[in-house]
A = this chain, B = another copy of it.
Amino acid sequence: LVKERVTSQDVADVAGVSRTTVSLTLNEVQTVQISQKTRQKVIKVARDLGYVPDAAAQALASRRSRIIGLLLTRSPHHLISDDFFTQIIDSLINVIHQQDMRLMIDIVEPDHQQEIYINLVRSKKIDGILLSGPRFDDDALMVLAETSFPTVLLGQLPDSDFCSVDVDNFSAAQTAVEHLISLGHTSIACITNTSLSYTASKERLNGYRSALRNSGLKFDPDLVAYADFTVDSGYECITDLISRRKGFSAVFVASDTVAIGAVSGLKKSGLKVPQDIAVVGFDDISYSRYMDPPLTTVRLPASELAHKASEMLIGLLKEGQPADKHLLLDTNLIVRSSCGASLAS
């Protein structure tokens, strides 16, 4: 399998052609015509010899590494989890492999973010960046913006020039909360999915506020708690909210994972879902429909998001410009039983 390294020279020698021809043939260079005969011969010899181009040599000469970098933002203590993180990677790899490219994963540490972008870009280790979970407080991102290095955000960063693929977190959250309002709830708490430095988190909170406003309900800061992506934080947030004794009858949780903790906390406090408190989540992770009660939530098309984002990035790499610079995919409210029936009935 790896005994002796086969180079393009070996292929050329055996096929009786030059290295140039081997390269031209194997790379299917369109601007040059290779005769059927030599073409097939080269291909056959290459296969017989088990020739695989040296990635480093290829990258050095062509100035393209054929590697896409997926940059993940790390929340305070850990990577952002959720089971569709896997879906994203899965989807990404599928698209990327079709282009004979590979996926490199990196974590953007809140502290030395700057460094990682610069190193990645300058070392030319990757051809493009897919950035998941952009944050407002990511200064290095601004620097990156000025380099015109091919980048696509999985999410959005207002006022930036980055290409992006996202869902409309604002209106999705608004719809979710409106659902609660339509059931007759007038005092609705909110647990964010994470810190508001994350653009998605802020948008979801804004959607919540907007829904309240549109229905003439007052926004009460005391009815908002801030989670950190984890189940644990959901449990803590709801416990905290309950202790404030503001008497809400429903809660909008901007993450299913966090909602699982919240529902657990409600039960622990002797509150029944949905009889005492209605709950609506966000994301529709695979566990949600099997919760007790099944969770009403907003479906996020994780695979499609990743699929579109990687296609957009590849478009950027090949054509220089993608068809659309910004894409917003649809979400939809999945009504299950965690909100119960209308309070009126």
Residues of A within 8 A of B (CB): 1-2, 5-6, 50, 52-57, 59-60, 65, 67, 74, 78-83, 85-87, 89-90, 93, 97, 102-107, 117-119, 121-125, 143-144, 146-147, 149, 230-232, 235, 257, 260-261, 263-264, 267, 286-287, 290-292
Is the CB–CB distance between A81 and B78 below 8 Å? no
Contacts of A93 in B (CB 8 A): 105-107
> Shortest distance in angstroms between A94's beta carbon and chain B's nearest beta carbon?
8
Is the CB–CB distance between A106 and B103 below 8 Å? yes
Is the CB–CB distance between B52 and A60 below 8 Å? no
Some 25 contacts from A to B, beta carbons below 8 A apart, are A1-B121, A2-B121, A2-B149, A50-B118, A52-B118, A54-B60, A54-B124, A55-B59, A55-B65, A56-B59, A60-B60, A78-B86, A78-B87, A79-B89, A79-B90, A89-B105, A93-B105, A93-B106, A105-B105, A231-B286, A257-B286, A260-B287, A264-B291, A267-B292, A287-B287
> Shortest distance in angstroms between A122's beta carbon and chain B's nearest beta carbon?
4
Q: Complex: how many Å from CA A79 to CA B84?
A: 10
Is the CB–CB distance between B104 and A78 below 8 Å? no
Contacts of A291 in B (CB 8 A): 264
What is the copy number of this chain in the assembly? 2
B50, B59, B119, B286: which contacts A230 (Cβ < 8 A)? B286
15 more A-B residue pairs beyond the given contacts A1-B149, A2-B121, A81-B286, with a C-beta to C-beta distance below 8 A: A6-B122, A53-B123, A55-B59, A55-B123, A57-B60, A59-B59, A74-B90, A79-B89, A79-B90, A85-B86, A230-B286, A231-B290, A232-B286, A257-B287, A264-B292
> Shortest distance in angstroms between A66's beta carbon and chain B's nearest beta carbon?
9
Q: Complex: how many Å from CA A117 to CA B118?
A: 31
Contacts of A232 in B (CB 8 A): 286
Q: Complex: how many Å from CA A125 to CA B290?
A: 42
A62 to B, closest residue via Cβ: B56
